[in-house]
């Protein structure tokens, strides 16, 4: 498998880059967070999106090493981002919650910089704990104790279901873009989105709507009570320098 060999090389040579997609606090119109999204800077094929390698990495367990790389990079950027008033979020994989390897690695990072975790959110999807929910819960509580915030990603799509909200110590609900699409066009979509946002609020969670692409969708998610907005309407995922220049410095 050529791709697998190359992926191992990519890990050894650290050919990964982080892209940043900002999140807007709609109450005060401020960028308060960016989601970190991995890219593989392949020596000959150029930039490869996660869709091109995350699944293989998950199947082979290499994702555990990739997640460590991402977490380490995120920690490196925390203080610089913090001075600009923004925090970072990153995506965890199902496999990261199957054993304590990433948590142990996080502990070692936090021994050096014990305050950093408070400025980092870990995004999880329900598929992430299907195999062993008890183990996943233990690991998530470990992250929580270190100070990381936890967020339910892709809520309302596929695996992310209501039972997750009860089980895990999360502080944010990220509503999947499939629930955002057409929310300004038909009543059913609006009702589903509004009640999902309301439920998040009743449970004491901050609610982000993802995949907002147009002015109309932005207006509607605001009308329906969203706290934060993410999506192409605001920005695509972009490199760090571009992110800093466009959304932070001088803004």
Chain residues binding Mn ion by CB under 5 A are 91, 123, 153
User: Counting beta carbons within 10 angstroms of the beta carbon of residue 86, is it exposed (0 to 12), middle (13 to 18) or buried (19 or more)?
Assistant: buried
Q: Is 154 one of the binding residues for Na ion (CB under 5 A)?
A: yes
Report yes or no: 131 and 98 within 8 Å, Cβ to Cβ: yes
- Number of C-beta neighbours around residue 12 at 10 A: 9
Query: Which run of H or of E encompasses 171?
Result: none
**Is residue 71 a contact residue for ligand G (CB under 6 A)?**
no
Q: How far is Cα 97 from Cα 128, in angstroms, rounded to an integer?
A: 7
Which of the stretches 142-150, 189-197, 206-214, 220-228 binds Na ion when contact is defined by CB under 5 A?
206-214
User: Shortest gap between Cβ of 211 and ligand G (angstroms)?
Assistant: 4
| In the complex, least distance from residue 89 CB atom to ligand G, rounded to whole angstroms | 9
Cβ-based nearer residue to Mn ion, 116 or 153: 153
Using the rule CB under 5 A, give the single segment among 40-48, 99-107, 126-134, 210-218 that binds Na ion: 210-218
What minimum distance in Å lies between the beta carbon of 204 and ligand G? 22
Specify the stretch interacting with ligand G by CB under 6 A; choose among 1-9, 72-80, 86-94, 188-196: 86-94
DSSP string, 125-160: -GGGGSS-HHHHHHHHHHHHHHT-EEEEEEETSTT-
Determine which residue in the list 3, 13, 49, 245 makes contact with ligand G, applying CB under 6 A.
49
Establish if 172 lies at the interface with Na ion (CB under 5 A): no
Task: Report if residue 52 touches ligand G, rule: CB under 6 A.
Answer: no
Q: How far is the CB of 125 from Mn ion (least distance, A)?
A: 8
SS3 211: coil
Task: Output 123 or 217, the one with its CB closest to Mn ion.
Answer: 123
The beta-strand segments (E) located in the chain are 16-25, 30-42, 46-48, 87-91, 120-124, 149-155, 172-175, 206-209, 228-229, 238-239
Task: Say if CB 207 and CB 172 are below 8 A apart.
Answer: yes
Using the Cα atoms of residue 233, residue 41, residue 119 and residue 249 in order, give the sign of their dihedral.
negative
Nearest residue to 208 (alpha-carbon basis) of 148, 153, 149, 126: 153
| Residue among 153, 172, 217, 227 that touches Na ion (CB under 5 A) | 153
Asked whether position 231 contacts ligand G by CB under 6 A, the answer is: yes
Give contact residues for ligand G (rule: CB under 6 A): 21, 37-38, 49-51, 54, 70, 90-91, 93, 153-154, 177, 210-213, 231-232, 237
**Contact residues: Na ion, CB under 5 A:** 153-154, 210
């Amino acid at each position: 498998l050529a791709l697998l060999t190359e992926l191992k090389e990519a890990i050894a040579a650290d050919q990964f880059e982080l892209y940043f997609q900002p999140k807007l606090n709609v109450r005060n119109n401020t960028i308060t967070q960016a989601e970190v999204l991995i890219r593989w800077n392949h020596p000959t094929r150029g930039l490869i999106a996660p869709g091109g390698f995350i699944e293989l990495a998950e199947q082979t367990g290499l994702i555990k090493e990739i997640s460590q790389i991402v977490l380490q990079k995120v920690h490196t950027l925390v203080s610089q981002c913090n001075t600009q008033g923004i925090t970072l979020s990153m995506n965890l994989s199902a496999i990261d919650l199957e054993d304590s390897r990433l948590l142990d690695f996080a502990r070692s990072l936090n021994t050096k910089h014990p305050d950093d975790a408070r400025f980092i959110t870990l995004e999880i999807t329900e598929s992430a704990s299907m195999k062993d929910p008890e183990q996943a819960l233990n690991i998530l509580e470990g992250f929580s104790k270190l100070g990381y915030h936890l967020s339910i990603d892709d809520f309302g799509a596929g695996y992310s279901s209501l039972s997750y909200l009860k089980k895990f110590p999360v502080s944010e609900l990220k509503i999947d873009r499939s629930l955002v699409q057409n929310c300004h066009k038909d009543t059913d979509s609006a009702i589903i989105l509004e009640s999902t946002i309301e439920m998040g609020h009743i449970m004491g969670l901050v609610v982000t709507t993802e995949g907002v692409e147009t002015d109309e969708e932005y207006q509607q998610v605001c009308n329906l009570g969203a706290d934060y907005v993410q999506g192409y309407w605001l920005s695509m995922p972009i490199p760090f320098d571009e992110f800093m220049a466009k959304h932070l410095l001088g803004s």
